[in-house]
Amino acid sequence: MSAAPGPAAPGMGARSSAHQALSQTLRKKRPLDSALDEILGAQSLYTRDSGFARVIAGETMRRFGQLDDLVRRFVPKAPPPHRAGPTLEILLAGACELLFLGVPAHAAVDGANRLAAADPKAVHFKPLINAALRRIAREGYSVAKEQDALRLNTPDWLWARWCETYGEETARAIARVHARTPPLDLVLKSECGLSSPPSGGGAGGGGEREHTSPLDPSGHSPRTRGEKDVAPASQYLPGGMMRLEHAGSVEALPGFAEGAFWVQDFAASLPVRLLGDVRGRRVIDLCAAPGGKTAQLVCAGAEVVAVERDTGRLGRLAANLDRLNLQARLVLCDARDYQPDSPAECVLLDAPCSSTGTIRRHPELPWIKSASDVAACADAACELLDAAAKMVAPGGLLVFAVCSLEAEEGLEQIAHFLRRHGEFRRMPLASPDVFGMSECISAEGDLRTLPCHMAEQGGMDGFYATRLQRL
């Protein structure tokens, strides 16, 4: 807990921070997490208020389409942005507090009024904000029940794509998972080499169990043996992973400082496994930051060369490996320019992409990106793939992965690559490669996870990956 609280009015520090982050995200197309990290880092808020700020901002973006539709019904003529300042953000977040966060009407409306009063532009629209939110408090629930929330919370450019690629039923299933706050997945360093979950937990459910530490089933925290620290409900996942509900701050979890685990979505852990047994093999990990896949490879016994072009991201990768007490050779270089001393048996390219497979964790993405971003990412990945191909030794493997749901960045990308590179062939996956989850294998034999897979357990990120062998 910080030494000093926020502003005197309860919750106002959290609301102010949330609205600043929402403004930067909606107006400047900035990722929500980075905006919140910067804004909250400059504040002196209690931990609970920082958490409340993240909840307000995150849920507002998660329900953005629905909230925008609802606000427009109660404020048909939106105030001009150049005159209204953060009025729209105040209305959206206020409606979110009222309808989706369970905040009492008097607190949510009063908070919105205080925010408006403190802004030189929004203050002129304070009567409108007050009247609209009071009406939403009275009538908003009935309106929300009539909305097609899944459709509204998915912008047109993505809805059309997903319906075409996966069908409307699957598009709705994806949107349904996006509407839920995702659990937190951890890779347990001591168990990440396991091919199946401990104690019989499986991909279809794992055994849900209560522990006093998410990392020690004995009921004792690795840091404070004998103390009764209550941890979130957890379930084991394949590959030495654990899923936590309502985990809170990652840094506060038992074992974080000691490097007992790292954060990695279950789907993101699968591409590394497509390389098979990497013990004693040299693996080139391209576009390696933030380092989850690098850590997987090192724990599996590989000699890893991790290549990353961004200085800040490489520093983050180094810090993560240091906390985990793992070692890899780190190279600051654009993957397109990297020239290894000799070809490697295994090359992993987790290419930068539109990241539409991670919307459940980054709900602002649909609203700050567009189809043009998909095209730009596909062009860059094409160059990266051609560069990666040169690094693979004859008989070696190239695994290409993207956390995208878009065909141009996945299946179509590989189709074009194989037409250009006759020296490579696809090695289709088998059910054991993905812990028996055959629904995650496409008709072509590639990995294709969707957010709606494992939906009852909280879903997973959308990933595409393919395994190619150089002849």
Q: Locate the DSSP E strands across 77-193.
A: 184-188
Residue 277 scores a pLDDT above 90 = yes
Does residue 241 sit in the same domain as residue 340? no
Does residue 271 sit in the same domain as residue 259? no
User: How far is the C-alpha of 455 from the C-alpha of 380, rounded, in Å?
Assistant: 32
- As a whole number, mean pLDDT of residues 136-150 equals 97
Q: Report pLDDT for 248.
A: 85
**Residue 97 · residue 89 · CB < 8 Å:** no
Does residue 258 sit in the same domain as residue 346? no
Tell me the residue type at 209: R
Does residue 251 sit in the same domain as residue 272? no
Residue 28 scores a pLDDT above 80 = yes
Q: Report pLDDT for 225.
A: 30
How sure is the predictor about 210, in pLDDT bands with cuts at 50, 70 and 90? very low
Question: What secondary structure letter does DSSP report for 331?
Answer: E
- As a whole number, mean pLDDT of residues 287-299 equals 97
Q: Report pLDDT for 193.
A: 58
Q: Report pLDDT for 232.
A: 62
CATH number of the domain where residue 431 is located: 3.40.50.150
Concatenated DSSP letters of 351-366:
-----GGGTTT-TTHH
Residue 4 scores a pLDDT above 60 = no
How sure is the predictor about 206, in pLDDT bands with cuts at 50, 70 and 90? very low
Does residue 239 sit in the same domain as residue 379? no
User: How far is the C-alpha of 224 from the C-alpha of 208, rounded, in Å?
Assistant: 23
Does residue 89 sit in the same domain as residue 36? yes
Does residue 394 sit in the same domain as residue 312? yes
Q: Report pLDDT for 223.
A: 35
**Residue 133 · residue 95 · CB < 8 Å:** yes
Between 82 and 161, whose confidence is greater?
161
User: How far is the C-alpha of 361 from the C-alpha of 352, rounded, in Å?
Assistant: 17
Residue 311 scores a pLDDT above 80 = yes
How sure is the predictor about 336, in pLDDT bands with cuts at 50, 70 and 90? very high
Q: Report pLDDT for 9.
A: 75
Tell me the residue type at 41: G
Dihedral sign from CA coordinates of 315, 185, 434, 432: positive
- As a whole number, mean pLDDT of residues 264-286 equals 98
Q: Report pLDDT for 10.
A: 83
Three-state DSSP at 65 gives helix
Does residue 305 sit in the same domain as residue 422? yes
Rg of the chain taking only CA atoms, in angstroms: 23
Q: Locate the DSSP E strands across 287-390.
A: 303-308, 329-332, 344-350
User: How far is the C-alpha of 287 from the C-alpha of 341, rounded, in Å?
Assistant: 18
Q: Report pLDDT for 316.
A: 97
Does residue 400 sit in the same domain as residue 453? yes
What integer best gives the mean pLDDT of the chain? 90
Q: Which domain holds residue 73?
A: 12-147
Residue 8 scores a pLDDT above 60 = no
